[in-house]
A and B are shown apart, each in its own frame.
Chain A
Amino acid sequence: MSLYFGIPIMLVAAVLQSVWLGNVHILGGRPDLVLLLTITWSIIRGGHEGALWGFVGGVFCDLLSGSGFGLWTLTLTSVGLFVGQPWVHSLGPTVIRLAVMSAFGTLLGHILLIVIMTLLGYSVNVGRAIQTVAGPAALLNFLLSPFVFTFLVWFHRRSGPRPGGFAA
């Protein structure tokens, strides 16, 4: 059921990433809204739904990118699956998991993206990319995660299966 709302949410997030956040420069970087939504949803609902939202968000991001199709799809699906793994629960309460994984998951996503781009022949300076793009993005996603978490928990309570309802 959540995916019926997840698709438009991810579409709007990807468009905002392109239209608005591209011009935002805080602490030398910009937040990754679609990545943050994927990570947060994965923490709330587990790795399989995280992967599903990551896949949807990745397709929209790829549609708004001039690079080869599938880069974002593979990256976000992998991050969504990874962040929602059962072992992440051993990190502690949800707040701690959210804080750690929003930063670590963002870094992981960027590193994965850089690796795939390098394999496909794009010129990316890894050290500089982590220092000027991935690092600031991880910090900003860490700072923004409580807000996104609050929104998605509110959404989760409304979109969860009701008695007699169904899950898509």
Chain B
Amino acid sequence: MRREGGPWLAWVLLILALLLIALSESGALGPLQDVLSYVVAPVERGVSAVVRNLGLLTRSTRDVQALQQRVSELETSLEALVQENFRLREYQAENEELRRQLNYTQQNPTLGFVGADVIQQGCTTFPCGDVVGEDTNPYLRYIVINVGSRSGVAPGMPVVTGGAAMVGRIARTSPNLSYVQLINDPDSRVAAMLQQSRVMGVVDGSEEGQLLMTNILPDETVAEGETVITSSIGGLLPRNLILGQIESVSYGEADLFQQAIVRPAVDFRRLETVLVITDFPQPDLGELDAQ
């Protein structure tokens, strides 16, 4: 039996692997990854379709399919109702805020005012992608979707479901695939606020896959069941994307901040189709830097 390559080959490969890590960290490996991804992307899409179809075939009885369809319909209805409820609450909060502002302008007639949002929500383009797989690295909570840089997707862009519930952010792209860091990944941090009380905080992912809202000031009142949305502070995300609902709140005497467990608005295991927000109005942070 002949071996492939000499004994030196394995050591060359090890050095090459180390070199790949170094080049990847320096960002110099992008073009090579793009070229290689042209091989992997069609296979990933094809196998994903086959696996999905095989999964459907194994559900043998029609009853199961009928029940599944019924559940799906009910879920769609529920999602629509949740969205409507969310919009109404948002209108209510906005209405109250505008009333407060109007009251303030009436009390201060000598001042000039220009109305502005911290960041407007007004997405213009939504590439729609199917979830084709999960990350091969079991220590990352990432998913793979079948739209990439050729569709205008770039790292940092937010990814949502149809119901404006935030799924995560684009971590890396190839021409035809993108890797989405889910919001429950341990390295994920999202500036957030509570929809009703407007309490600010940060939603972190965790090792267990839970969402934790941290950095809540001790004197704030946080009610269970409140909806957690993105706050757009930092300008990296649009405002009002739904993150979840407050499940429980904890505060120890020695703690600087309150902490809350957030029930995610998205079932990350059942994601099939997602939208990538490629463009949304952002504040010109350059002006702040200039000042």
Please report A residues at the B interface, Cβ cutoff 8 Å: 1-3, 11-12, 14-20, 22-23, 30, 32, 34, 45-49, 51-52, 54-55, 58-74, 77-78, 80-81, 113-114, 116-117, 120, 122-125, 128-129, 133, 137, 160-161, 167-168
Kindly list chain B residues whose C-beta atoms are within 8 Å of the C-beta of A52.
4-5, 9-10, 13
Kindly list chain B residues whose C-beta atoms are within 8 Å of the C-beta of A60.
40
* In contact, B44 and A64 (Cβ under 8 angstroms): yes
Please, how many angstroms separate the alpha-carbon atoms of A48 and B142 in the complex? 32
How far does the Cβ of B145 sit from chain A's closest Cβ, in whole Å? 11
* In contact, B4 and A65 (Cβ under 8 angstroms): no
Residue B25 CB within 8 A of the other chain? yes
* In contact, A161 and B20 (Cβ under 8 angstroms): no
Kindly list chain A residues whose C-beta atoms are within 8 Å of the C-beta of B171.
66
Interface residues of B in 33-84 (CB under 8 A from A): 33, 36-37, 39-40, 43-44, 47-48, 51
Please report B residues at the A interface, Cβ cutoff 8 Å: 1-7, 9-10, 13-14, 16-25, 29, 33, 36-37, 39-40, 43-44, 47-48, 51, 132-140, 142, 144, 171-172, 174, 179-181, 186-187, 207-208, 269
Please, how many angstroms separate the alpha-carbon atoms of A15 and B172 in the complex? 18
* In contact, A67 and B29 (Cβ under 8 angstroms): no
For A34, the closest partner residue in chain B by CB is B136
Kindly list chain B residues whose C-beta atoms are within 8 Å of the C-beta of A62.
20, 136
Chain A interface, DSSP helix/strand/loop, else mixed: helix
Kindly list chain A residues whose C-beta atoms are within 8 Å of the C-beta of B44.
15, 18-19, 64
* In contact, B13 and A161 (Cβ under 8 angstroms): no
Known pairs A2-B4, A133-B138; A123 contacts B10 (CB<8 A): no
* In contact, A64 and B135 (Cβ under 8 angstroms): yes
List 17 A-B pairs, Cβ < 8 Å.
A14-B136, A18-B132, A18-B136, A64-B133, A65-B140, A66-B135, A68-B24, A68-B25, A69-B24, A69-B33, A71-B137, A78-B14, A80-B10, A122-B186, A123-B186, A128-B208, A129-B139
Kindly list chain B residues whose C-beta atoms are within 8 Å of the C-beta of A3.
4
* In contact, A66 and B139 (Cβ under 8 angstroms): no
Known pairs A11-B40, A20-B51, A30-B138; A49 contacts B4 (CB<8 A): yes
How far does the Cβ of A135 sit from chain B's closest Cβ, in whole Å? 12
How far does the Cβ of A162 sit from chain B's closest Cβ, in whole Å? 11
Please, how many angstroms separate the alpha-carbon atoms of A6 and B165 in the complex? 42
Known pairs A12-B43, A64-B40, A71-B137; A77 contacts B14 (CB<8 A): yes
How far does the Cβ of B193 sit from chain A's closest Cβ, in whole Å? 24
Kindly list chain A residues whose C-beta atoms are within 8 Å of the C-beta of B186.
122-125
Kindly list chain B residues whose C-beta atoms are within 8 Å of the C-beta of A46.
3
Please, how many angstroms separate the alpha-carbon atoms of A16 and B51 in the complex? 9
Kindly list chain A residues whose C-beta atoms are within 8 Å of the C-beta of B36.
59, 63
Q: Which 7 A-B pairs have the closest CB atoms?
A: A66-B179, A22-B134, A70-B20, A70-B21, A18-B133, A51-B10, A69-B24
* In contact, B7 and A48 (Cβ under 8 angstroms): yes
* In contact, A67 and B40 (Cβ under 8 angstroms): no
How far does the Cβ of A114 sit from chain B's closest Cβ, in whole Å? 7
Kindly list chain B residues whose C-beta atoms are within 8 Å of the C-beta of A117.
137, 139
How far does the Cβ of B266 sit from chain A's closest Cβ, in whole Å? 16
Please, how many angstroms separate the alpha-carbon atoms of A128 and B14 in the complex? 28
* In contact, A65 and B136 (Cβ under 8 angstroms): yes
For B207, the closest partner residue in chain A by CB is A125
Please, how many angstroms separate the alpha-carbon atoms of A112 and B23 in the complex? 19
Known pairs A19-B51, A69-B33; A63 contacts B174 (CB<8 A): yes
For B13, the closest partner residue in chain A by CB is A55
* In contact, B17 and A73 (Cβ under 8 angstroms): yes
Kindly list chain A residues whose C-beta atoms are within 8 Å of the C-beta of B40.
11, 14-15, 60, 63-64
Kindly list chain A residues whose C-beta atoms are within 8 Å of the C-beta of B7.
48
